[in-house]
Chain A
Amino acid sequence: MTDWLSKIKEISVEDSLGEVVSSSNLSFKFQVYNLKRSPEYSSIVIVLAGDILINGVITSIQMNPKDALALGTPSPLKRTREQIEKDYADIKDKLVMTCEAVIIGYYENGKFYQKIPRQIPWIHDLVFQAPSQYIRDFHIMNNNYKLSYLPLVYNSLSKEEKISFSFFMDTFIGYISLFFEKEEMDKIIRSIQESLILNGLDYLIENLNEIYINL
Chain B
Amino acid sequence: MRRLASRFIVLSLLASSAVAASAAVSAPALAGCAPDAAYSVTNAVYNHKDMVSYSSAPGGHTLSITITAGLSVTATFSGALQTEESIIIASAKETWGLSFALTLSASIAYSDSWTVPSTWAHGQLHAGADRKSFHWSYGHFAPTCSWVVVRSGTSIAPYHVPAFWSVKA
Asked if A and B bind, the verdict is no
